[in-house]
Amino acid sequence: MPKLSAAGENADTQVVQTNVTMLRCPSCGAPAAPDAGRCAYCQSRLAVIGCPVCMALLFQGAAFCPSCGAARSRVEDTQAHPTKCPACRGEMRWIRVGEIDLLECASCDGTWIEAPTFERLCARREQQAVVAQKSPASKKAGGSLAAAPDRIRYRPCPQCGKMMNRQNFGRLSGTIVDTCAGHGTFLDRGELHQVVRFILDGGFDRMREAELQRLKEEQQRLRDLELHLSRSRGGQL
């Protein structure tokens, strides 16, 4: 990964907060929602991934994450990477959020995370969930950020070019991600936060419990089937 700079964290950038839910674009002053990706008037980028803990989208100039309270930590490379976005073919750039390196599309805000990095992120967030003894209830945070697509579209892996698999992350999260085994995972805008929030809220534990319950039900179904077949054979004698 190339050397990153914090040029995106302009010290002159300020956010004018008029109330709890209304912010203003630092470029033109137009009102904007806290999770707005672009200013509706000047098209400046507004909310981008900036929380090193829950990977939430933070409004430009926000110092702390409104979801978990962590201090903003984001640096970005100023040079475009040769990799094209699997979703819109736009330019992608390396960014570092906390200790996580990923490619971010400058057009649609989608993110590509290489497989070892994604596995490390998931493992560490699961450890944090255990230590913090999080409630098993899923909060579905950020679920409204990723709009449902009009139709299913399979996307090419940025590394090998093969079509990626679409998977419901953790089987229960409801967040559909594009995965290429061994290479990485592509997530639409806001989905990385949904995935991390799912893990922090005990999603992996719920996934294991659901799988264990499914196996128990399957075993019971097989026992019932064997008993039925045994009784059928006995009745024919």
Note whether 77 and 63 are within 8 A (CB). no
pLDDT, one tens digit per residue, over 148-182 is 556 788 999 999 999 999 999 999 999 999 999 98
Q: Is the pLDDT of residue 142 over 70?
A: no
User: Which domain does 194 fall in, by range?
Assistant: 74-201
Query: Which of 201, 200, 203, 191 has its CA nearest to residue 102?
Result: 191
Nearest to 1 by CA among 90, 115, 88, 100: 100
% pLDDT > 90, the chain = 62
**Distance (Å, rounded) from C-alpha 120 to C-alpha 215?**
28
Residue 101 has pLDDT above 70, yes or no: yes
CA dist., res. 138 & res. 173, Å (int): 8
User: What does pTM read for this prediction?
Assistant: 0.77
pLDDT of residue 34: 85
Is there a domain that residue 107 lies in?
yes
Amino acid present at 85: C
- The answer to whether position 68 is within a domain reads no
pLDDT tops 80 at residue 62: yes
In a domain? residue 178: yes
Q: How many domains does the chain have?
A: 1
Closest to 195 measured CA to CA, from 211, 213, 178, 214: 178
Residue 67 belongs to a domain: no
Residue 149 lies in a domain: yes
Task: Establish if 2 belongs to a structural domain.
Answer: no
In a domain, 44, yes or no: no
d(Cα 178, Cα 186) in Å, to the nearest integer? Answer: 5
111 neighbors 187 (Cβ within 8 angstroms): yes
Query: Tell me: the pLDDT tens digits for 41-57?
Result: 999 989 999 999 999 99
**Average pLDDT of the chain to the nearest whole number:** 84
Is residue 39 one of the residues assigned to a domain?
no
56 near 68, Cβ under 8 Å? yes
Helix (H) or strand (E) holding 96: strand 91-97
The string over 125-141, giving b where at least 16 C-beta atoms fall within 10 Å of a residue's C-beta and e elsewhere, is bbeebeeeebeeebeeb
